[in-house]
Amino acid sequence: MAHGSLDLHVQRWSQTGEFKAKGWNKFGWYILLMVFTFGLFYFFPLLTTLLFLVLTAVHFGEADRVHAIECFGISTSIPKSWAWVRGSFVVAIPSIFFTQQTWDPFYYLSQVSFNSTINQIITYFGYILLIATLSFAIFDSLKTKINWSSSAVIAFLFESVICFFWFVFLPPLLAIGGYFLAIHSTKHMLRLSHFKKQNIRNTTTFKDILTLHLDAVWLSAPAYLIVILWSVFIKAPVVPSLVYASIGFYLISTLPHHILVAKIPVRSSGVRVFPKRKKSSNFFTIVSNLSNFSIKRSSYNTYTTPPADGVARSSQIE
């Protein structure tokens, strides 16, 4: 499924409560933001790339935090600062350890060659982002009451450690691609499959996900067309050119996609809240906690009820 292929449906739901591909005339702002980002990248490729990496860190981190909240309950005490650290792993670690490989896709997109200046800027960017988010998270954790023995905290921290080593030991394209497909996109798909249950009852998650792929055709088709056409102008072999064009599409579509995803309400009822467990260093207890780190089947009223104006409570931007 192309990146953001269900955003037309999400926009329509946030306005009218319908989960259908309608309202193209109100989708113009989305296209304009994409065009604006493309223009910004064309004239300021390095600056736009760094802004894109920051937004990617926020978007990925918040998606992981919201997923944890939906798994363990709305009262889950996972600060936003933790999400920013998680997201910073995705872009900061490759920027530090694989600087040239991090810039390679953007070189093919902008034809701005890698040099010592870009090397220093991207490396410093990685260090600053990682240090800043870690410092803020430590400060935030000291002033926030956190139940360190809760299943949610243990699972989130354990998954964060895995993500850290994943990005340290794997090259950027493989690490980010694997994270995007296996973690980020999967969580989005599970969330949207439950999101749609508000209008279609008594369906299975597997069937919901298949249906979502059909719903996504409205935007997937033009997205694939853009990627294919863009890849023609990239001076690289066929497969790498498609990969770089896909990254370019992520670059221009992540901002409007993030804004729309923020409108999806967080599940606040019907969520199974797991009882507190006694503190234990037993390996099997930790594994048991981690097994709960998936969205459970939900009832019809799983999500928060949108206010009268039809706009749901933001799940990310408060």
- Residue 130 lies in domain: 7-291
The DSSP secondary-structure symbol of 24 reads: G
User: What is the per-residue DSSP string for 210-235?
Assistant: HHHHHHTHHHHHHHHHHHHHHHHTS-
Q: Does residue 227 sit within a domain?
A: yes
Tell me the torsion sign for CA atoms 293, 76, 162, 148: negative
The residues, ordered by sequence, that sit 6+ positions from 282 with a Cβ below 8 Å of its Cβ are none
The verdict on residue 82 lying in a domain is yes
Residue 306, pLDDT score: 40
pLDDT of residue 21: 66
Residue of 68, 6, 37, 44 lying closest to 267 (CA atoms): 68
Residue 259 lies in a domain: yes
308/106 Cα distance (integer angstroms): 44
Contact 111, 246 (CB under 8 A): no
- The total of structural domains in the chain comes to 1
305 is a domain residue: no
- Residue 293's pLDDT is 45
**302 within some domain:** no
Q: pLDDT for 43-55, tens place per residue?
A: 999 999 999 999 9
User: 283-291 and 151-169 helices cross at what angle (nearest 10)?
Assistant: 90
Q: What is the pLDDT of residue 252?
A: 95
Both structure tokens of 20: 């259908």
Q: Which one, of 202, 153, 162, 203, lies nearest residue 182 by Cα?
A: 162
Q: Which residues pair with 267 in a beta bridge?
A: 303
Distance of CA 56 to the CA centre of its chain: 7
In a domain, 43, yes or no: yes
Q: Is residue 80 part of a domain?
A: yes
Q: Which residues of the chain have pLDDT under 70?
A: 14-24, 73-76, 194-205, 267-318
Distance CA 66, CA 184 (A): 11
Q: Is residue 278 part of a domain?
A: yes
Residue 205: its pLDDT value, please?
A: 66
Q: Looking at residue 22, what is its pLDDT?
A: 66
What one-character DSSP code corresponds to residue 2?
-
